[in-house]
Each structure stands twice: as C-alpha cells, then as structure tokens.
Amino acid sequence: MKYEKPNLAIDIVHLGLIDFKEAWDIQETYFNQVVEQKLANRTNEEQQPTKNYILVCEHPLVYTLGKSGKEEHLLLTAEQLETAGAKYYKINRGGDITHHGPGQLVLYPIFDLENFFTDIHLYLRYLEEAVINTLQNLDIQAGRYEGFTGVWIDADKASARKICAMGIKCSRWVTMHGLALNVNNNLDFFNHIVPCGIKEKDVTSIQKEMQGFPTDFQKVTHLLIAELIKQFGGFKGVER
C-alpha cells in the first residue's frame, strides 16, 4: 500500500544516555504504534498518516548480538562481563555482534518506509550515505566495504577499519534498530568481540581519525540528523 499523501515529516526524540533495554522498549512502543496504525488503515475508510521517528541516544556499556550472529563472537564469560560492568543482549535485528558505550552516537530510525520507498537495501544505502556525508563534513573520507553493511575508512585498502555499524529490523515496511557511529568512545571494548563477525579488521572513531583532537559530540549529532533528514525527503518534524 502506497499512501496518497505520504508523511515525510520525521520526529527527532532525544533520549540521552539510556540503558539499552530501556531504549529497546521505547523503540518497540513506537514501532508497534506505527504498525497498529497501518493495520487500522486497511479497514478505516479514512487513511491516517503514519509517523516517522529518529531516536537519538548513547548507551552504557553493552554488547548486542543480532539474529544472524554467533555467540562465540563474544569473547567474554558472564563473569568477565560483570567485572567489566557491561550487559549482553540477544536482540531482534539483523547482523552479528557489536558494542555500545558512552561517546558512541546511536540512532534508531523508526520509519514507515511506505512513506518513502519500499526497498530495504536502498534504505541501508541511505543510512550509509548520511554517515559518509557527515564524516565528509568533518574532513574524514569514508565509504563502503563491498559485501558488508556499514561505513568504513580506507575501505579499499588493507588498513580498512569500521567507524559505523548498522543493523535493522523491518516488518510491514516499518523499521527499527539502526546505526552506531563511533565518535569519542573507548574502542578497547571492541577487543572483547569479533566486531560484526569480521575478523582481522580494526574499529575506529571520529576522534581517532582526527588524531585525538577533541570531538564535539553535539555537533556530530546535529550533522548526522540533518543528513538523514536530507536523505529521506528534507522535511523535519518536532525535535524533543
């Protein structure tokens, strides 16, 4: 179903530093609301537009494993996780294992793709493009690594290193989960996993690529939100 009048507005919801499970529950709430409206539109004579959201946050130390991931890619025991002060969740997104921590910018777009286009691969490319353009605004040249989702530095070289991980869920053309851009987070915590299931490739951050120069987290946040809005139609809703 394509809407006669698609809603291109995007509500930006700032959650701050928030426990991963709490943010996951909030995602589920928004996701279910959008899906319920879509189902109601099938029987209602008058169509109601579905909403689109971007949840913006950081997480305390946590490791998450996607549906296609392998548990052995977490290199810590339960006791070691507790000692590190990190949590671990198996979740309902695609992809393998990743790490979240303070200083990493996490964005969860909850979009009804029928407001934009119905193509999951194109959706992922749009997310990547928004990150690539954001980094270019910071004079960091980034790109795609063929065969892998996400954004990389020196993707065509032996020194390829990942700066942004992505993993999504999509049902009834409604998305959740999203992307994690390393801004100035502690990269040592990636040593305890096989990041995204990819061996022998480094992980990097904006701060590391800028040779440790102080990184303005809020500036990166605003740049990335602006680029995402630009990719998906240029209409901005409420920011809160």
DSSP 4-73: SS-----EEEEEEE--HHHHHHHHHHHHHHHHHHHHHHHH-SS--PPP-EEEEEE-SSEEEE-TT--GGG
Alpha-carbon span 112 to 194, nearest angstrom: 32
Q: Which helix H or strand E contains 222, and what residues bound it?
A: helix 217-231
Task: Give the three-class secondary structure for 97.
Answer: strand
Pull the structure tokens for residue 155.
Answer: 């993707």
Amino acid letter, 84 = A
Which of residues 2 and 46 earns the better pLDDT score? 46
Please, are residues 114 and 6 in contact by the beta-carbon 8 Å criterion? yes
Of the candidate ranges 38-52, 55-69, 79-93, the one whose mean pLDDT is the lowest: 79-93
139-193, pLDDT tens digit by residue? 999 999 988 889 999 988 888 999 999 999 999 999 999 999 999 999 988 888 7
Instruction: Please tell me which residue in 57, 164, 170, 196 is annotated as part of the active site.
Output: 196
- Largest Cα separation within the chain, whole Å, is 58
Task: Residue 158: count other Cβ atoms within 10 Å of its Cβ.
Answer: 7
CA 189 distance to own-chain centroid: 18
If pLDDT is split at 50, 70 and 90, which confidence band does 107 have? very high
pTM for this structure? 0.91
Give the CA dihedral 147, 149, 152, 158, nearest 10 degrees. -30
CB contact at 8 A, 185 and 62: no
pLDDT of residue 93: 85
Parse the chain into domains and list their residue ranges.
59-102+117-228
196 is catalytic: yes
Span 59-102+117-228 CATH architecture: 2-Layer Sandwich (3.30)
DSSP 107-146: EEEE-BGGGT-S-HHHHHHHHHHHHHHHHHHTT---B--T
